[in-house]
A = this chain, B = another copy of it.
Amino acid sequence: MATLPTDPEQLLDLADAGDRRALARALSVVERGGAAGSALVRAGWSRARHHRAQQDREPGDRAPDRALTVGITGAPGAGKSTLNATLCAELLARGRSVAVLAIDPSSPFSGGAILGDRVRMGDVAGADGLYIRSMATRGHLGGLTGATNDAIAVLGATGRDLVIVETVGVGQVETDIVDSADTTVVVVNPGWGDAIQANKAGLMEIADIFVVNKADRDGARDTVTDLESMLNLSGGHDDGPAQWRPPVVSTVGTTGEGVAELADALEAHVAHQHATGELDRRRSAQRSQRLREVAVARVGRALDDLLATGWGGALRAEVEEAHTDPWAAASRLIERLAQQLTDD
Instruction: Show the binding face of A for B, using Cβ within 8 Å.
Output: 38, 41-42, 45-46, 49, 64-65, 75-77, 105-110, 114, 116-117, 144, 167-176, 192, 194-195, 197-203, 205, 283-285, 287-288, 290-296, 298-300, 303-304, 307, 315-316, 319-322, 325-330, 333-335, 337-339, 341-342
Contact = CB atoms under 8 A, between A and B. Distances in A.
B106 A201 contact: yes
A145 to B, nearest CB: 10
Given A168-B171, A171-B172, A173-B173, 20 more contacts: A42-B328, A65-B322, A75-B170, A106-B170, A106-B174, A106-B175, A107-B202, A168-B198, A168-B199, A169-B172, A170-B170, A288-B316, A291-B315, A291-B329, A291-B330, A292-B300, A295-B303, A299-B303, A338-B338, A342-B342
A199 B107 contact: yes
Contact of A46 (B299, B325, B334): B325
Contacts of A341: 334-335, 337-338, 341
A114 B294 CA distance: 33
Nearest to A281: B320
Given A41-B327, A169-B171, A334 B295 contact: yes
Copies of this protein, total: 2
A277 to B, nearest CB: 14
5 contacts: A49-B322, A76-B198, A105-B175, A116-B197, A287-B319
Contacts of A169: 169-173
Nearest to A63: B322
Among the interface residues A117, A321, A326, A342, which one has the most CB atoms of the partner chain B within 10 A? Answer: A326
Given A325-B46, A338-B341, A110 B201 contact: yes
Contact of A294 (B105, B167, B203, B330): B330
Nearest to A109: B201
A55 B254 CA distance: 60
A65 to B, nearest CB: 6
Contact of A170 (B168, B330, B334): B168
Contacts of A173: 169-173
Contacts of A38: 327
A32 to B, nearest CB: 16
B45 A325 contact: yes
B287 A322 contact: yes
A170 B76 contact: yes
A108 B197 contact: no
Contacts of A106: 170-172, 174-175, 198-199, 201-203
